[in-house]
Amino acid sequence: MSQILITADELADLLSADSPVRVLDVRWRLDRPDGRPEFLDDHIPGAVYVDLDSELAEHGAPADGRHPLPSNALLQTAARRWGVNDGDVVVVYDDLKSLSAARAWWLLTDAGIADVRILDGSLRAWTNAGHALEQGDAVPAPGSVTLSRGHLPQVDIDQAAALAGRGALIDVRAAERYRGDFEPIDPRAGHVPGALNRFTAQNVDADGRFLDPETLRREFAELGIEHGEPVGVYCGSGVTASHAFVALTLAGYSPTLYAGSWSQWSNHPDRPVAIGSEPEGALASIQKEKS
C-alpha cells in the first residue's frame, strides 16, 4: 500500500522499457460523465478509456445509491476488455486531480491487483513534463486477469452509522453540501449525524498532486482523526470517497469506505439527517419536526 502514486517521468520510463503496464484513462465529471470525447482528442499513448458509470459501478434502486460498487463479474469483464493480465502494473489517471482515477485504484486494489498506481497530478502532470499524447481510440487485445474482491475494508449503511458514533466518519463533500445549504442531486440535504467534514480536494495541491504524508497526517489530526481509531469516508455517490481513502492511506491511516455514501443514506427516509457545520448539526429539531 506504500506504492500508490507514480510520477509522469516514472510512467514514461515504464512505457519506454516495454514493461507489462496497462494505462487506464478514467476521465469522468459529475456534469460531464462521458469522458470519451476528451479521450479521443488526446490521451497518454497506449491508454484505454474506462467508462466509470458502466464499468466501475452497478445501477440499481435509488436506495442503493448512485454508484454502487460493481460486481466482481462486471469488473473482471471490464478489466479484460482493457487488456489487463495477471501480473500487470496498472496505472490510472484522469484530468481532474485524480478524483475519478482513485475510484479505479480502489476497485482494482480491492480486486487483488498487486500494483495499481495513480498518476500523481493527473493528465496535466504528463503534459507539463513534456511527454507526448496520441489521438483516436485504443482497442487492446483482450486480457485474462482473474479478480477476487474483498482486499480493502468497506462498511455498509448500518456500519457507517455506528462508525460515526464510535470512531470517525468523514464526509468529503464540499462544506455547503455537508451543511445542507443546498443539495443539487440527492433527495435530502445535510450529512450523516456525527460525521466530520473535510473536502477531498483539500488533499491535493494547486497542481492536483497529493500533499505529502506529513502534511496530510497533520491536517487529519487537526480534524480530530487519531491513529488507531476506526475512520471511514463517504461522499455524494461513492466516487470521490475513494480519493479521500487514498489520502488517508498515504497519511498512514487504515481507512474504510462507505461506498453507498450520501446518495444511499438520503434515499432512506428512516435515517436521521443533520444540518449545519457541526457533526451532530440540528438533528434534534429535525427529529421533532418529523414526529
Instruction: Give how far the C-alpha of residue 260 lies from the chain's centroid of Cα atoms, to the nearest Å.
Output: 12
CA atoms within 13 A of residue 163's CA, in its CB half-sphere: 25
Spatial separation of the C-alpha atoms in residues 104 and 238, rounded to whole Å? 12
236 counts as catalytic? no
Q: How many CA atoms lie within 13 A of 99 on its CB side?
A: 20
User: Which of 190, 165, 169 lies closest to 277 in space, CA to CA?
Assistant: 190
With beta carbons less than 8 A apart as the criterion, state whether 110 and 152 touch.
Answer: yes
For residue 192, what are the contacts with CB-CB under 8 A and spacing of at least 6? 160, 161, 164, 169, 171, 234, 262, 265, 271, 273, 274
φ, ψ for residue 171 (rounded to 5)? -90, 115
Please answer whether residues 200 and 179 qualify as being in contact, where contact means their C-beta atoms are separated by less than 8 angstroms: no
- Which position among 23, 196, 235, 246 bears the catalytic label? 235
DSSP state letters, 267-288:
T-TTS--B-SSSSSTTHHHHHH
Distance spanning both ends of the chain, measured CA to CA: 47
Catalytic residues: 235
